[in-house]
Structure 1
Amino acid sequence: MKTAILIPCYNESKTIKKVVCDFKKVMPHADIYVYDNNSTDGTDKIAEENGAIVRYEFKQGKGNVVRSMFRDIDADCYIMVDGDDTYPAESAVEFERLVLEKNADMVIGDRLSSTYFEENDRPFHNIGNKMVRWLINLFFKSELKDIMTGMRAFSYDFVKSFPIVSKEFEIETEMSVFALMNNFSIEEIPIDYRDRVEGSESKLNTYRDGYKVLRMIYTLVRDKRPFFFFTTASLILLFIAAVYFVPIYLRYRYYGYVLKIPTLIVVSTVVMVAAVTFFTGVVLHVIKKQNNAQLENHLTLIRLNKKINNSYFRFL
């Protein structure tokens, strides 16, 4: 059984040596991959000198890096961790066990139930993490404790079936929702979190990246729960139409004729748009169910191919 440690990096020269060495010590059997994302501080050289397999992704953004890692590497267990030395390598042993022995498809390192709020002195990051967690749990009917953690483990099935859309830091949110909506097995374990060492700077911009994450949540609700999204939009339109229609109707009952014909025309148009919106949700819901069925078939083929390959290598 092969385990791969995946470390996406952008200018992490202050910490990458310790991260690589810690994982080599804790998991000597694992292959450690450092994917350098246009670093200018020698991160790649430091990683290579300390025994990591260094590869490059020249399209900027964490989502682009993760896409390359998932496409390039074949393993039975994937453990992804940031290169900023904020996550303990010791936790990776339990992550690996849950994937290989308990058949978990995604293991989430839960910082928020542990030391995150004590270690992190950026209040808007704390608020943002709580808000994203609340929104995801609300819209996707889950009870996840940490949505945006940078330490996770994945099964082969998850990695090879996850169609990555995100280009930057929205990737963690997209991963969580994909697992929730496609019935993948999710485990969460609390992990200690420590703040960055002095001289190491976060690449996450609170406002810019926070906006991108919220936009991603909006997109995921629309795409992954189309019936809910478009039915809600339809009901809002019907409510607005009713607010303007009721006074017209009451005056019609009293006077015997319509006083505001232009308003009535607009109300009728809004009702028609609401009907079209509702049936759009119905159609997209059916398409989504078909896509889910195709994903199940895809997962079956992935497992079949994996068994065939394993049998072939045993024969050799």
Structure 2
Amino acid sequence: MDKIAVLIPCFNESQTIEKVVSDWKRELPEAVIYVYDNNSSDNTADLATKAGAVVRHEYSQGKGNVIRRMFREIDAQCYIMVDGDDTYPAEYGKQMANLVLKKRTDMVVGDRLSSTYFDENKRPFHNFGNCIVRGSINRLFKTDIRDIMTGYRAFSYLFVKSFPVLSKGFEIETEMTIHAVDKNMRIENVIIEYRDRPEGSESKLNTYSDGFKVLKTIGKLYKNYHPLGFFGRISTILILASALLFLPIAIKFLQTGFVPNFPTLIVSGFIAVTAIISYFAGLILETLTEKERQEFEFRLQVIENLEKSIKNIDFK
């Protein structure tokens, strides 16, 4: 088991990867630097090897697929995840690692949005999107994480081995955040400096399509983690719609004693029944979700015992 593993997912980062690896070797000489190349068409892998990184490959395209491979293959007491585009300074790595190793923090979030991100980032829609995502998650999940989509994080062994990676692309950071919040894991924010990509280096993010995927992921995870809240909101909307259709008919009936629009009354009734079904579906799923949380706590104990066993193995 490594003490600290620095995980760098890469796709066509030949302009910056040597500097990123060198910076991390200087700041954390005790760490093992892993670069996972994701079908790069340039010489990213060769340059990373030259700089002294352990280079491996993931052939399924997408950042989520790379993170899944990293988390499966690497055992470490502390994991630091960082992008290969040289936007995140390595100087904060030791502070983040100490929070995991000494304070047993499960996830440390490198907070760009509280420092230089909005000045350095030249893509205004990315800035706007980050604010929407942060506000949505903090409101829906009742938390206070300052940067949801940052690619600069540190993790404990417990988090990495208990995190089910479902996303294939850039929405992976959102999934990590919500998993940590829902499972009541210890989270800390570290304010970091952010610098924009150097000239000639291009972002792989598509503002609109990837932004839509992130918002879709938030909705899906909210449904999975808080089904009563999700289906309860749907039920409320349906009840209001049913009431709006039923109210004029009820008023007319009280005035004349006749039902003027039977089709509207029938539709209103069906909508009300659907609202009731939606609410009870959420109630049942909420019970199952609570049961899953209890089982997750038992799985954490198994992972903790496995970590202790690995630490005690003599590989000589």
TM superposition score normalised by structure 2: 0.98
User: What does residue 194 of structure 1 align with?
Assistant: 195
Task: For residues 76-96 of structure 1, give each alpha carbon's deviation from its aligned partner in whole angstroms, at most 9, with x where no partner exists.
Answer: 000000000000101000010
Distance 2:200 2:183 in 1: 41
User: What does residue 58 of structure 1 align with?
Assistant: 59
Q: Percent identity?
A: 53
User: What does residue 223 of structure 2 align with?
Assistant: 222
Distance 2:42 2:288 in 1: 47
Q: Given residue 10 of structure 1, which amino acid in structure 2 is its aligned partner?
A: F
Compute the displacement of 1:309 (Å).
Answer: 3.1
Q: Given residue 265 of structure 1, which amino acid in structure 2 is its aligned partner?
A: I
Distance 2:165 2:306 in 1: 22
User: What does residue 109 of structure 1 align with?
Assistant: 110
Task: For residues 18-44 of structure 1, give each alpha carbon's deviation from its aligned partner in whole angstroms, at most 9, with x where no partner exists.
Answer: 000000011111110000000011100
Q: Given residue 187 of structure 2, which amino acid in structure 1 is its aligned partner?
A: I
Give the alignment's Cα RMSD to 1 decimal. 1.1
Distance 1:63 1:309 in 2: 26
- SS state at 2:67 partner: helix
User: What does residue 30 of structure 2 align with?
Assistant: 29
- SS state at 1:107 partner: strand
- SS state at 2:103 partner: coil
User: What does residue 154 of structure 1 align with?
Assistant: 155
- SS state at 2:61 partner: coil
Compute the displacement of 1:310 (Å).
Answer: 2.8
**Residues 1:185 and 2:182 are matched in the alignment:** no
Distance 2:92 2:214 in 1: 27
Runs of 5+ consecutive residues of structure 2 not aligned to the other structure: none
**Residues 1:144 and 2:145 are matched in the alignment:** yes
Distance 1:302 1:104 in 2: 16
Compute the displacement of 1:125 (Å).
Answer: 0.7
Compute the displacement of 1:221 (Å).
Answer: 1.1
Distance 2:177 2:307 in 1: 25
- SS state at 1:164 partner: coil
Compute the displacement of 1:121 (Å).
Answer: 1.1
Compute the displacement of 1:122 (Å).
Answer: 0.8
**Residues 1:48 and 2:49 are matched in the alignment:** yes
Distance 2:228 2:45 in 1: 46
Compute the displacement of 1:145 (Å).
Answer: 0.8
- SS state at 1:8 partner: strand
Distance 2:132 2:257 in 1: 52
TM superposition score normalised by structure 1: 0.98
Asked if 1 retains the 8 angstrom alpha-carbon contact of 2:157 and 2:307, the reply is no
Task: For residues 84-115 of structure 1, give each alpha carbon's deviation from its aligned partner in whole angstroms, at most 9, with x where no partner exists.
Answer: 00001010000100000011000000001011
- SS state at 1:54 partner: strand
Distance 2:240 2:178 in 1: 30
- SS state at 1:294 partner: helix
Distance 1:147 1:136 in 2: 8
User: What does residue 95 of structure 1 align with?
Assistant: 96
Compute the displacement of 1:302 (Å).
Answer: 0.6
Compute the displacement of 1:224 (Å).
Answer: 1.0
Distance 1:310 1:139 in 2: 38
